[in-house]
A and B are shown apart, each in its own frame.
Chain A
Amino acid sequence: DAGVTQSPTHLIKTRGQQVTLRCSPKSGHDTVSWYQQALGQGPQFIFQYYEEEERQRGNFPDRFSGHQFPNYSSELNVNALLLGDSALYLCASSGRDREYLDTQYFGPGTRLTVL
């Protein structure tokens, strides 16, 4: 059973550019959440998608947007990149798993560097 997968692994962009990160949830999961983890800090919640709609959002500007597809995979888009957007971006999936109800499982992350 494949876990949560993310692509790409690493990405280097320059200020002002746009970036798209991708996530495939664990099999059987229908909810995807995105987190930003700056160096030396804990992950911070960006937003969550369920049934192709944004269900919750953290304190992130509108430059951060997302999408969920019918197969439950998801994309995170960041426009007008700033140096401060450099971070590890983590995707987590969850669903009505019989034993681990509502537990979020994390992917390996995408390391974004903005120069």
Chain B
Amino acid sequence: AQSVTQPDIHITVSEGASLELRCNYSYGATPYLFWYVQSPGQGLQLLLKYFSGDTLVQGIKGFEAEFKRSQSSFNLRKPSVHWSDAAEYFCAVGARRSASKIIFGSGTRLSIRP
């Protein structure tokens, strides 16, 4: 079955500290992988995506993620968080074909300690 697991429900980090949000997926074929961010009461904004090629992908707002096929993981990282990064983060997986449905994880809520 296709699924995405985000094992951390809530993470708190200090402003300026590094961040890593975990994501593991289960998918029958090579997937498309995404990270989206959602601020309170807002829609989803795409941070970055992996389709193929270099397994380390760069996104907006200083985020990056690394695709590790052997571990079925796609963890999100940022070297130094800002208070404005406080939000809900969703990892998602889609099929390698035109505009297919996306399967989302349950999300990780990030809080920033001043």
- Chain A residues at the B interface, C-beta cutoff of 8 Å: 4, 31, 33, 35, 41-45, 48, 50, 56, 58, 90, 92, 94-96, 100-109, 111
Contact = CB atoms under 8 A, between A and B. Distances in A.
**What 6 A-B pairs have minimum CB-CB distances, sorted nearest first?**
A42-B104, A106-B44, A45-B101, A108-B43, A94-B99, A31-B99
Interface in B6-45: 32, 34, 36, 41-45
B47 to A, nearest CB: 12
Contacts of A95: 99
Interface in B35-76: 36, 41-46, 49, 51
Given A33-B102, A95-B99, 8 more contacts: A33-B99, A42-B90, A42-B105, A50-B99, A94-B99, A101-B51, A107-B43, A109-B43
A90 B81 CA distance: 27
B106 interface: yes
A103 B49 contact: yes
Nearest to B44: A106
A104 B51 contact: no
A4 B43 CA distance: 10
Contacts of A43: 44, 90, 102, 104
Contacts of A106: 36, 43-46
B84 interface: no
A56 B51 contact: no
A111 B32 CA distance: 28
Contacts of A33: 99, 101-102
B104 A44 contact: yes
Contacts of A109: 42-43
B103 A45 contact: yes
Nearest to A31: B99
